[in-house]
Amino acid sequence: MIPRYTRPAMQELWSDATKYRIWFEIEAYAAEAMAKEGIIPEGAAKTIWEKGSQAEFSVERIHEIEAETKHDVIAFLTHLAEFVGDDARFVHQGLTSSDILDTQLAVQLARASDLLIEGMERVLAALKKRAFEHKNTIKIGRSHGIHAEPTTFGVTLATFYAEFDRGLTRLKAAREEIATCALSGAVGTFANTKPEVEVYVAEKLGLTPEPVSTQVIPRDRHAAYFAALGVIASSVERLATEIRHLQRTEVLEASEYFSKGQKGSSAMPHKKNPILTENLTGLARLVRSAVVPAMENVALWHERDISHSSVERGIGPDATGHLDFALHRLAGVIEKLLVYPENMQKNLDQLGGLTFSQRVLLALTQEGVSREDAYRLVQRNAMKVWDDGGHFLDYLKKDDEVMNALDTEKLEAMFDMGYHTKHVDTIFERVFGES
């Protein structure tokens, strides 16, 4: 976790203190269930809850014990026993450390998902608000970085809304998949515990019981989870890239908010740089880098090996923490984005009416010209605009072959911006359910 790119809620979620608290809850709920099942005395379960919930676990003390045992869960249990006393022997009965560790990770990933869902919703709200605000703000659409045909900035934002909405759906599915509880004991056979204990603890923690585990919760769940984050990160990158493009000096159709006191460059005081969206581009790469190791973690040996653990100590906090940060940074960028409709219009006018080339092409074919000929006619006039400037319409009017097929009035009527925006309402209906 890079502190600079982690919000406090995530920092706390992945802290040692939170981890130990979750471990305790798992053990205490398990004790409760075991008491119900008659595996351990009721009094013991009560003592465990009472003494444990008042305990202030010491990270240092646990690390000290771990230095000898080389086993983190045993170290914690030993420390817990220092609070619970004699009844501590009834803690962890029939369980194995994977039960605790994997269920803890499930709790953390579920909670992290909730934070991420909040972030996604903030991004979506910002996108929707700005989309409606700019529903009819005309701008040129660009394919290959080249002016194509007009669209509106609202439509552009709507494409992102739809994309983040899909991301949210996938995130929720991934959250559901990851939120399982396994308390099945060594090699997952429940030999020294009972399936009922697992069911009980799962419910208490808001998880679902893992149908079958090999001692560990199967890592295809985690692979799918981090992949879902990776796709969202890629969408963050797409939106960040869009804004970086729009802020280019020559384009300048939108820009990140530049706060009072902000400095763009140590050398050049004139600079206003899209540093937030560039930063988001990099964060997207970081989040995505969790995907492959998460997939490499799937093929554990036999009933379990512990190779996944060090990977998850890295990617668990990092991928969720950085994506969470990125979502809020992104939402802020959208919320405060400066939009320059007049520059949009200026850029739109730049290409001398070329953006209507398709409409002329189609009109020619409708008038009986073959597609190949029509293409040739339109292209030869368009190239004059590229080469010598001037307005496309003027060249067309001087082209006899064109004018044989189309009359002037018809031709001029085609150069109408409204033609390109007539379906914006339909698009908004599809995306937002309203327009």
Q: Of 15, 53, 265, 370, which residue is the catalytic one?
A: 265
Q: Does 213 bind a copy of itself (CB under 8 A)?
A: yes
Q: Which of 28, 123, 361, 405 binds a copy of itself (CB under 8 A)?
A: 361
Specify whether 213 is catalytic: no
Q: Which residues 6+ apart lie within 8 Å of 210 measured at CB?
A: 180, 181, 182, 184, 198, 217, 218
Q: Does 285 bind a copy of itself (CB under 8 A)?
A: yes
**Distance (Å, rounded) from C-alpha 137 to C-alpha 344?**
8
Q: Does 372 bind a copy of itself (CB under 8 A)?
A: yes
Q: Does 234 bind a copy of itself (CB under 8 A)?
A: yes
Q: Does 261 bind a copy of itself (CB under 8 A)?
A: yes
Please state the closest distance from residue 50 (CB atom) to a copy of itself, in A.
18
Q: Does 299 bind a copy of itself (CB under 8 A)?
A: yes
Q: Does 297 bind a copy of itself (CB under 8 A)?
A: yes
Euclidean distance between the first and the last CA atom of the chain, given in angstroms as a whole number:
41
**Neighbouring C-beta atoms of residue 304, cutoff 10 Å:** 20
Tokens of 369: 């010209």
Q: Which of 37, 296, 394, 412 binds a copy of itself (CB under 8 A)?
A: 296
Q: Which of 10, 35, 123, 290 binds a copy of itself (CB under 8 A)?
A: 290
Q: Which of 62, 288, 324, 327 binds a copy of itself (CB under 8 A)?
A: 288
Using DSSP, state whether 152 is helix, strand or coil. strand
> Of the ranges 28-36, 93-101, 109-117, 122-130, which one interacts with a copy of itself (CB under 8 A)?
93-101
Q: Which of 17, 59, 173, 403 binds a copy of itself (CB under 8 A)?
A: 173
Q: Does 31 bind a copy of itself (CB under 8 A)?
A: no
Using DSSP, state whether 292 is helix, strand or coil. helix
**Distance (Å, rounded) from C-alpha 236 to C-alpha 32?**
44
Q: Does 70 bind a copy of itself (CB under 8 A)?
A: yes
Q: Which residues 6+ apart lie within 8 Å of 53 measured at CB?
A: 24, 28
Q: Does 245 bind a copy of itself (CB under 8 A)?
A: yes
Q: Which of 371, 394, 404, 408 binds a copy of itself (CB under 8 A)?
A: 371
Q: Does 97 bind a copy of itself (CB under 8 A)?
A: yes
**Distance (Å, rounded) from C-alpha 158 to C-alpha 113?**
24
**Distance (Å, rounded) from C-alpha 354 to C-alpha 388?**
13
> Of the ranges 51-59, 104-112, 121-129, 145-153, which one interacts with a copy of itself (CB under 8 A)?
145-153
Tokens of 49: 């809850």
> Of the ranges 18-26, 105-113, 119-127, 372-380, which one interacts with a copy of itself (CB under 8 A)?
372-380
Q: Does 421 bind a copy of itself (CB under 8 A)?
A: yes
Q: Which of 136, 208, 289, 435 binds a copy of itself (CB under 8 A)?
A: 289
Size of the site for a copy of itself (CB under 8 A): 175
Specify whether 134 is catalytic: no
Q: Which of 18, 46, 117, 163 binds a copy of itself (CB under 8 A)?
A: 163
In sequence order, the β-bridge partners of residue 255 are: 338
16-36 helix and 42-54 helix, angle to the nearest 10 degrees:
160
Whose Cβ is closer to a copy of itself: residue 121's or residue 159's?
159
* One-character DSSP codes across 247-265: HSTTT-SEE----TT--S-
Tokens of 173: 């599915």
Q: Which of 55, 117, 224, 339 binds a copy of itself (CB under 8 A)?
A: 224
Q: Which of 31, 45, 91, 120 binds a copy of itself (CB under 8 A)?
A: 91
**Distance (Å, rounded) from C-alpha 205 to C-alpha 47?**
20
**Distance (Å, rounded) from C-alpha 182 to C-alpha 217?**
6
Site for a copy of itself in 313-332 (CB under 8 A): 313-315, 318, 322
307-335 helix and 220-247 helix, angle to the nearest 10 degrees:
30
> Of the ranges 29-37, 118-126, 200-208, 379-387, which one interacts with a copy of itself (CB under 8 A)?
379-387
Whose Cβ is closer to a copy of itself: residue 301's or residue 409's?
301
> Of the ranges 30-38, 118-126, 367-375, 397-405, which one interacts with a copy of itself (CB under 8 A)?
367-375
H or E element in which residue 149 lies = strand 146-152
Q: Does 305 bind a copy of itself (CB under 8 A)?
A: yes
* One-character DSSP codes across 375-417: HHHHHHHHHHHHHH-S-HHHHHHT-HHHHHHS-HHHHHHH--T
**Distance (Å, rounded) from C-alpha 423 to C-alpha 112?**
39
**Catalytic residue positions?**
144, 265
